[in-house]
Amino acid sequence: MATIRRFDSADAPAVAGLIERCLREVNSRDYPGEVIERMCDHFTEQRIKELAIQREMFVAEANGIAGTVSRDGNKVYTMFVNPRAAGRGIGRLLMRHIEALAVVDGYDHMETGASITGHGFYHRLGYIDVRSTETEFGFNYILRRNLP
Protein backbone atom coordinates (compact mmCIF):
# COMPACT_ATOMS: atom_id res chain seq x y z
CA MET A 1 0.00 0.00 0.00
CA ALA A 2 1.09 3.58 -0.56
CA THR A 3 2.26 5.88 2.21
CA ILE A 4 1.73 9.62 2.15
CA ARG A 5 4.27 12.22 3.20
CA ARG A 6 4.93 15.90 2.68
CA PHE A 7 6.62 16.93 -0.56
CA ASP A 8 10.34 17.69 -0.33
CA SER A 9 12.06 19.91 -2.89
CA ALA A 10 14.23 16.90 -3.86
CA ASP A 11 10.97 15.31 -5.12
CA ALA A 12 10.46 18.04 -7.74
CA PRO A 13 12.00 16.12 -10.69
CA ALA A 14 9.95 13.00 -9.93
CA VAL A 15 6.74 14.99 -9.43
CA ALA A 16 7.25 17.02 -12.61
CA GLY A 17 7.92 13.79 -14.52
CA LEU A 18 4.83 12.14 -13.04
CA ILE A 19 2.61 15.09 -14.01
CA GLU A 20 4.00 15.18 -17.54
CA ARG A 21 3.39 11.47 -17.93
CA CYS A 22 -0.23 11.83 -16.76
CA LEU A 23 -0.83 14.74 -19.09
CA ARG A 24 0.64 13.01 -22.13
CA GLU A 25 -0.77 9.52 -21.50
CA VAL A 26 -4.10 10.17 -19.78
CA ASN A 27 -5.36 13.77 -20.05
CA SER A 28 -4.39 13.86 -23.74
CA ARG A 29 -7.46 11.69 -24.40
CA ASP A 30 -9.71 14.62 -23.49
CA TYR A 31 -7.73 17.75 -24.41
CA PRO A 32 -6.11 18.99 -27.61
CA GLY A 33 -2.35 18.70 -28.00
CA GLU A 34 -1.78 22.44 -27.63
CA VAL A 35 -3.45 22.44 -24.18
CA ILE A 36 -1.40 19.44 -23.09
CA GLU A 37 1.80 21.15 -24.25
CA ARG A 38 0.86 24.33 -22.35
CA MET A 39 0.27 22.32 -19.20
CA CYS A 40 3.55 20.39 -19.62
CA ASP A 41 5.37 23.73 -20.04
CA HIS A 42 3.62 25.04 -16.91
CA PHE A 43 4.48 22.19 -14.52
CA THR A 44 8.28 22.47 -14.55
CA GLU A 45 10.43 21.34 -11.62
CA GLN A 46 10.85 24.98 -10.66
CA ARG A 47 7.09 25.64 -10.79
CA ILE A 48 6.47 22.57 -8.63
CA LYS A 49 8.89 23.90 -6.01
CA GLU A 50 7.17 27.31 -6.06
CA LEU A 51 3.71 25.76 -5.76
CA ALA A 52 4.89 23.67 -2.81
CA ILE A 53 5.74 26.89 -0.98
CA GLN A 54 2.32 28.45 -1.68
CA ARG A 55 0.38 25.26 -0.89
CA GLU A 56 0.69 22.10 1.18
CA MET A 57 1.91 19.46 -1.25
CA PHE A 58 1.97 15.70 -0.63
CA VAL A 59 3.32 12.67 -2.41
CA ALA A 60 2.24 9.03 -2.25
CA GLU A 61 5.11 6.56 -2.20
CA ALA A 62 4.72 3.04 -3.55
CA ASN A 63 7.98 1.87 -5.13
CA GLY A 64 8.85 5.51 -5.78
CA ILE A 65 6.56 8.49 -6.10
CA ALA A 66 3.26 7.18 -7.41
CA GLY A 67 1.02 10.20 -6.90
CA THR A 68 0.75 13.77 -5.69
CA VAL A 69 -1.83 16.25 -4.48
CA SER A 70 -1.75 19.68 -2.89
CA ARG A 71 -4.14 21.85 -0.96
CA ASP A 72 -4.61 25.46 0.00
CA GLY A 73 -7.01 25.23 2.93
CA ASN A 74 -10.02 23.44 1.47
CA LYS A 75 -9.01 23.87 -2.18
CA VAL A 76 -7.51 20.89 -4.04
CA TYR A 77 -4.75 21.25 -6.64
CA THR A 78 -2.42 19.07 -8.74
CA MET A 79 -4.06 15.66 -8.18
CA PHE A 80 -2.08 13.18 -10.29
CA VAL A 81 -1.39 9.44 -10.04
CA ASN A 82 1.16 7.68 -12.23
CA PRO A 83 -0.79 5.78 -14.93
CA ARG A 84 1.17 2.64 -13.96
CA ALA A 85 -0.19 2.90 -10.41
CA ALA A 86 -3.73 4.00 -11.32
CA GLY A 87 -6.79 2.12 -10.10
CA ARG A 88 -5.20 0.99 -6.81
CA GLY A 89 -6.78 3.54 -4.50
CA ILE A 90 -3.83 5.95 -4.39
CA GLY A 91 -5.88 8.91 -5.65
CA ARG A 92 -8.55 8.25 -3.02
CA LEU A 93 -5.90 7.92 -0.28
CA LEU A 94 -4.36 11.29 -1.22
CA MET A 95 -7.75 13.01 -1.31
CA ARG A 96 -8.89 11.57 2.02
CA HIS A 97 -5.58 12.70 3.52
CA ILE A 98 -6.03 16.36 2.58
CA GLU A 99 -9.75 16.27 3.40
CA ALA A 100 -8.88 15.13 6.94
CA LEU A 101 -6.44 18.03 7.27
CA ALA A 102 -9.12 20.47 6.10
CA VAL A 103 -11.51 19.09 8.73
CA VAL A 104 -8.90 19.72 11.43
CA ASP A 105 -8.62 23.30 10.12
CA GLY A 106 -12.38 23.72 10.57
CA TYR A 107 -13.59 23.66 6.94
CA ASP A 108 -17.04 22.23 6.27
CA HIS A 109 -16.46 21.44 2.60
CA MET A 110 -13.72 20.69 0.09
CA GLU A 111 -13.54 22.25 -3.37
CA THR A 112 -11.70 21.09 -6.46
CA GLY A 113 -11.29 21.96 -10.09
CA ALA A 114 -11.46 18.84 -12.23
CA SER A 115 -10.36 18.11 -15.74
CA ILE A 116 -12.77 16.24 -17.99
CA THR A 117 -10.45 13.28 -17.35
CA GLY A 118 -10.69 13.46 -13.55
CA HIS A 119 -14.39 14.35 -13.33
CA GLY A 120 -15.68 10.80 -12.75
CA PHE A 121 -13.00 10.16 -10.14
CA TYR A 122 -14.29 13.01 -7.98
CA HIS A 123 -17.87 11.82 -8.37
CA ARG A 124 -16.77 8.41 -7.02
CA LEU A 125 -15.32 10.20 -4.01
CA GLY A 126 -18.61 11.97 -3.26
CA TYR A 127 -17.99 15.30 -4.97
CA ILE A 128 -20.89 17.15 -6.57
CA ASP A 129 -20.76 19.52 -9.54
CA VAL A 130 -21.08 23.19 -8.69
CA ARG A 131 -20.31 24.78 -12.05
CA SER A 132 -17.97 24.55 -15.00
CA THR A 133 -15.34 26.99 -16.14
CA GLU A 134 -12.97 27.72 -19.02
CA THR A 135 -9.37 28.14 -17.91
CA GLU A 136 -6.06 28.62 -19.73
CA PHE A 137 -5.90 24.82 -19.53
CA GLY A 138 -9.28 24.23 -21.16
CA PHE A 139 -12.64 23.14 -19.81
CA ASN A 140 -12.81 22.38 -16.08
CA TYR A 141 -15.50 21.37 -13.60
CA ILE A 142 -15.74 22.84 -10.12
CA LEU A 143 -16.95 20.30 -7.56
CA ARG A 144 -17.51 20.27 -3.81
CA ARG A 145 -17.85 17.67 -1.11
CA ASN A 146 -19.26 18.34 2.34
CA LEU A 147 -16.83 17.37 5.09
CA PRO A 148 -17.99 15.62 8.26
Ligand X SMILES: CC(C)(COP(=O)(O)OP(=O)(O)OC[C@H]1O[C@@H](n2cnc3c(N)ncnc32)[C@H](O)[C@@H]1OP(=O)(O)O)[C@@H](O)C(=O)NCCC(=O)NCCS
Binding site for ligand X (CB under 6 A): 22, 26-27, 79-81, 86-92, 114-115, 117-118, 120-121, 124
Q: Taking the complex as a whole, how short is the minimal distance between the CB of residue 27 and ligand X, in angstroms?
A: 5
Q: Which is nearer to ligand X, 42 or 106 (CB)?
A: 42
Q: Residues 31, 115: contact at Cβ < 8 Å? A: yes
Q: Taking the complex as a whole, how short is the minimal distance between the CB of residue 20 and ligand X, in angstroms?
A: 11
Pairing of β 3-6 and β 109-115: unpaired
Q: Which is nearer to ligand X, 10 or 29 (CB)?
A: 29
d(CA 108, CA 67): 25
Q: Taking the complex as a whole, how short is the minimal distance between the CB of residue 132 and ligand X, in angstroms?
A: 13
Q: Which is nearer to ligand X, 4 or 86 (CB)?
A: 86
Q: At a CB cut-off of 8 Å and minimum separation 6, what does 92 contact?
A: 124, 125
d(CA 66, CA 56): 17
